[in-house]
């Protein structure tokens, strides 16, 4: 399962996150604005690669070795039109703020700040209500979404696993950029928490896909037969939905 990650609020812009193995590089001027750049050394990379990080609005230069840094920079400087086009095509970022609309299992919910309620986060009349101080609201909504993701994903994994007669290992939630779900050789399942914003049938498919890997650690015809048993007719539509809307899920928060 491909694409997914990040959790920054537009309301409180901070420096772009720099992960382990990355080093910040001078920003690049693209269409009149400065876009942050990081360099990531990956010894397994075969060549210099240029990526647009859709979560952090930044450019990532992947290089096999530090000695490729200058060449990578020249490559980037020759590709600014491509970067501009990629950034242009991104859906607008969605801050988890009072009045914003966020999807929960595909159903739009308005975020409503209820400062005096002292009730945490709860759903009422199609709204996600959030008590407490305004500056904590984005984090609280994000934590609540992650908790909902855990419940929804765990429930679906349990149903699929029982049907297939398998026992899943630990379920881990991540903020993955490249995958919606994965299955480790030891049977642990990992999912991107942002799936909770997709329609329920998309979550059905992604969980069915990973549970089916507990029987077949490959994408063989036998594997796809298991997926079809667990989530009949969902493979094509779910993959199409994620291709079309996945980036927008990554632009939330
Ligand atoms: Zn797979």
Span from the CA of 16 to the centroid of ligand 1 (angstroms) = 31
pLDDT at res. 119: 86
How far apart are alpha carbons 171 and 68 in whole angstroms?
Answer: 38
Span from the CA of 218 to the centroid of ligand 1 (angstroms) = 7
Span from the CA of 150 to the centroid of ligand 1 (angstroms) = 20
Res. 17 pLDDT band, cuts 50 70 90 = low
Span from the CA of 206 to the centroid of ligand 1 (angstroms) = 9
Distances (CA, A) of 111 to 13, 41, 94, 124, 130: 20, 40, 12, 10, 7
Span from the CA of 2 to the centroid of ligand 1 (angstroms) = 9
Span from the CA of 183 to the centroid of ligand 1 (angstroms) = 8
Which residues partner with 212 through β-bridges?
none
Residue ranges per structural domain of the chain: 22-89, 101-142, 147-250
**Does residue 58 carry a pLDDT above 50?**
yes
Span from the CA of 182 to the centroid of ligand 1 (angstroms) = 7
**Does residue 214 carry a pLDDT above 70?**
yes
Span from the CA of 160 to the centroid of ligand 1 (angstroms) = 15
pLDDT at res. 1: 53
User: How many CA atoms, within 13 angstroms, populate the side-chain half-sphere of residue 195?
Assistant: 33
Span from the CA of 207 to the centroid of ligand 1 (angstroms) = 10
Span from the CA of 50 to the centroid of ligand 1 (angstroms) = 26
Q: Output the CATH code of domain 147-250.
A: 3.30.2010.10
**Does residue 240 carry a pLDDT above 80?**
yes
Span from the CA of 98 to the centroid of ligand 1 (angstroms) = 37
> For the chain, percent helix, then strand, then coil, each to nearest 5?
40, 25, 35
Please say whether the beta carbons of 181 and 200 come within 8 A: no
Res. 114 pLDDT band, cuts 50 70 90 = very high
Span from the CA of 233 to the centroid of ligand 1 (angstroms) = 16
- Whole-model pTM above 0.85? no
Average pLDDT for 232-253: 93
Span from the CA of 166 to the centroid of ligand 1 (angstroms) = 16
**Any idea what the Cα angle at residue 12 is, between residues 107 and 142, rounded to 5°?**
35
pLDDT at res. 118: 83
Q: Encode pLDDT of 128-158 as tens digits.
A: 999 999 999 999 999 999 999 999 999 999 9
Span from the CA of 220 to the centroid of ligand 1 (angstroms) = 10
Q: Encode pLDDT of 157-189 as tens digits.
A: 999 999 999 999 999 999 988 799 999 999 999
Average pLDDT for 87-102: 89
Average pLDDT for 120-129: 94
**Any idea what the Cα angle at residue 10 is, between residues 6 and 12, rounded to 5°?**
100
Q: Which two tokens stand for residue 31?
A: 């269409």
Span from the CA of 151 to the centroid of ligand 1 (angstroms) = 22
Span from the CA of 191 to the centroid of ligand 1 (angstroms) = 12
**Does residue 13 carry a pLDDT above 50?**
no
Span from the CA of 76 to the centroid of ligand 1 (angstroms) = 33
**Does residue 3 carry a pLDDT above 50?**
no
Average pLDDT for 93-107: 93
Please say whether the beta carbons of 47 and 82 come within 8 A: no
**Does residue 12 carry a pLDDT above 80?**
no
pLDDT at res. 14: 44
């Amino acid at each position: 399962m491909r694409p997914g990650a990040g959790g920054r609020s537009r309301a409180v812009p901070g420096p772009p996150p720099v992960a382990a193995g990355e080093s910040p590089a001078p920003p690049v001027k693209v269409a009149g604005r400065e876009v942050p750049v990081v360099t990531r050394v990956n010894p397994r990379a075969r060549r210099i690669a240029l990526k647009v990080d859709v979560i952090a609005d930044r450019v990532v230069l992947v290089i096999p070795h530090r000695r490729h840094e200058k060449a990578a920079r020249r490559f980037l400087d020759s590709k600014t039109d491509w970067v501009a086009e990629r950034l242009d095509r991104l859906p607008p970022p969605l801050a988890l703020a009072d009045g914003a609309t966020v999807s929960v299992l595909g159903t739009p919910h308005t975020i409503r700040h209820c400062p005096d309620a002292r009730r945490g986060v709860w759903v009422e009349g199609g709204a996600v209500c959030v008590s407490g101080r305004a500056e904590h609201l984005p984090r609280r909504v994000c934590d609540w979404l992650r908790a909902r993701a855990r419940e929804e994903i765990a429930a679906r994994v349990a149903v699929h696993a029982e049907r297939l007669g398998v026992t899943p290992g630990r379920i881990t939630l991540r903020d993955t950029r490249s995958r919606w779900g994965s299955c480790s050789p030891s049977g642990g399942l990992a999912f991107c928490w942002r799936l909770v914003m997709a329609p329920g049938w998309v979550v059905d498919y992604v969980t069915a896909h990973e549970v089916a890997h507990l029987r077949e650690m490959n994408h063989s015809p036998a594997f796809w037969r298991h997926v079809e048993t667990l989530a009949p007719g969902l493979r094509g539509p779910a993959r199409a939905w994620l291709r079309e809307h996945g980036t927008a899920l990554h632009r939330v928060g």
